[in-house]
Amino acid sequence: MDTFVIEGGRRLSGRVRINGSKNAALPLLAASLLTDQPVKLREVPNLADIKNLIRLLGELGCRRTDEPADGSFGDGTVTMHSVDESLSHARYEIVRTMRASICTLGPMLARRGFAQISLPGGCAIGERPVDLHLRGLAALGAQITVNGGDIIAKVPSGGLVGNTIFLGGPFGSTVLGTANVMSAATLAKGVTTIESAACEPEIVDLANMLNKMGAKITGQGSPRLVIEGVSELGGCDHRVIPDRIEAGTYMMAAAVTNGDIVLENCPVDALLSAMHYLDTVGVHVEACNPVAATSPQKSAHRGCEDPMRCCVRVTSDRILHPVEVTTQPHPGFPTDLQAQLMTVLALADGNSVITEKIFPDRFLHVAELSRMGAKLIRHGPTVVISGVRRLVGAPVMASDLRASAGLVLAGLAAEGRTIINRVYHLDRGYDRMEDRLRALGAVIQRVDEKEVAEVAVPG
């Protein structure tokens, strides 16, 4: 198994280009099941989760038509073409490797009238039920049963029919649940209104692509989505939005190393809450080429011309200030940056509080950060963080994708050597993170766990 060996304490500086968003690309890829025409996506990130979904789509009769002959992932352009609509079973063997496989349910059901998909189990960040997905699809008329661990969903003879659906749950809206119900409703008869829809930028991107395919969706980005059903959808050519979580993670890498990093292709419009808290902490995020204040194009967001593909420079003060943060659905502070922010606050000058309102058990990084000298006390969904002057390198265990990112940041900031085991978690969401950090001046290596002892300490 791969392991990262990090020699901490280096100040990061330089430029990094933000990749296409994983969590946008997954439902966009699944939406290719909604049509028999090719769907071309650009800037798809080269990640384990993406490759798993492409493999699953292949098993569902939707093939990638532009796979490079050398078997590599290619330049990020991925064209999917649904050519065999008789295959509608997403097997446990694939679904268990990636919960996001559930985003094939709505598209398969709507286009093929039938879908069988293994019920995703819980994962390291919590229980993760799919009851809201099923409730929303049932409201469109789908007949849903669970048998042998599989969700079996059928469309009755009259087809799916639009409805008004409240999709909120105990933790607010659901991102992939909204993606599933919205996708299915594009081919339902009549109008569907989704109330308490997820407002995440990834849902906006999906709605925009579905509209390019011929859907009639309005309200994306707000909690009320209105979808007027159409009889069929066509193909399209679509560029995936940049990854706000990857961007936020590199911003925080600048924060913990007192660094100076320029992020290209940065979706600042999708990061306003994170940037607000970083501001409070003492991290500065400024547009590289601000549009003149008098320009009619000037957006409200740090003067960037295109606030979803901006160039920003991130620098931090030597002293980080404490802050109180609660994770919330978008536009609140994202749960996917909670672990990374905890590392930043572990080094702040005072006491901070983080409350996790989306996945109340998403705290596996707490014990690992404590091994590096962080002072953390957890009470249920809340962690009190008493800032320390320094973290100290230690062997730690990655447990899930974002917890791993938090540990990498801690390793970059810590004195001495940090060894992070099980970095396959990180590879699910960050493309070649070690190469990109090295280009920014970090001392980080990927080695097999058996070779860790042989890695020399740099002079």
Between 197 and 236, how does the x/- string for binding to ligand EPU read (CB under 6 A)?
Answer: ----------------------------------------
Position 249 contacts ligand EPU (CB under 6 A)? no
Which residue, 22 or 112, is less far from ligand EPU as judged by CB?
22
**Residue type at 49?**
D
Choose, from 62, 103, 123, 236, the residue flagged as catalytic: 123
Residue-wise burial string across 150-159, b where 16 or more C-beta atoms lie within 10 A, e elsewhere: bbbbebeeee
Check binding of 402 to ligand EPU (CB under 6 A).
yes
**Window 40-69: contact mask with ligand EPU (x via CB under 6 A):** ------------------------------
Token pair, residue 84, equals 């065999």
Gap between the Cα atoms of 459 and 223, Å rounded: 55
Using DSSP's 3-state secondary structure scheme, residue 432 falls into: coil
Query: Is residue 288 flagged as an active site residue?
Result: no
Select the residue interacting with ligand EPU from 358, 376, 419, 437 (CB under 6 A).
358
Q: Is 424 in the site for ligand EPU (CB under 6 A)?
A: no
Whether residue 181 contacts residue 152, with contact meaning beta carbons closer than 8 Å, is answered with: no
Question: Which of 50, 78, 115, 132 is close enough to bind ligand EPU by CB under 6 A?
Answer: 132
For ligand EPU, which residue of 19, 23, 183, 265 counts as binding (CB under 6 A)? Answer: 23
Q: Please report whether residue 73 would count as binding ligand EPU according to CB under 6 A.
A: no
Helices in 60-114 by DSSP H: which ranges? 92-95, 105-112
Q: Is 166 in the site for ligand EPU (CB under 6 A)?
A: no
Distant-in-sequence, close-in-space partners of 295: CB < 8 Å, separation ≥ 6: none
Residue from the set 9, 159, 169, 331 that interacts with ligand EPU by CB under 6 A? 169
Q: What share of the chain is helix, strand, coil (3-state, %, to 5)?
A: 35, 25, 40
Which CB, 100 or 254, lies closer to ligand EPU?
100
Q: Which of 66, 101, 79, 98 is nearest to 35 (CA)?
A: 79
Asked if 196 touches ligand EPU (CB under 6 A), the answer is no
- Residues ≥6 apart with Cβ < 8 Å to 211: 217
Under the phi-then-psi rule, with left for phi > 0, alpha for psi from -120 to 50, and beta for the rest, what region is 214?
left
CB of 146 to ligand EPU, least distance (A): 13
Residue ranges of alpha helices (H) inside 131-200 are 131-139, 175-185
Residue indicated by tokens 């071309």:
40
57-65, 131-139, 234-242, 247-255 -> range binding ligand EPU (CB under 6 A) = 131-139
Judged by the rule CB under 6 A, the positions of this chain that interact with ligand EPU are: 23, 26, 100, 126, 128-133, 169-171, 174-177, 335-336, 358-359, 401-402, 429
- Catalytic residue numbers, as ranges: 123
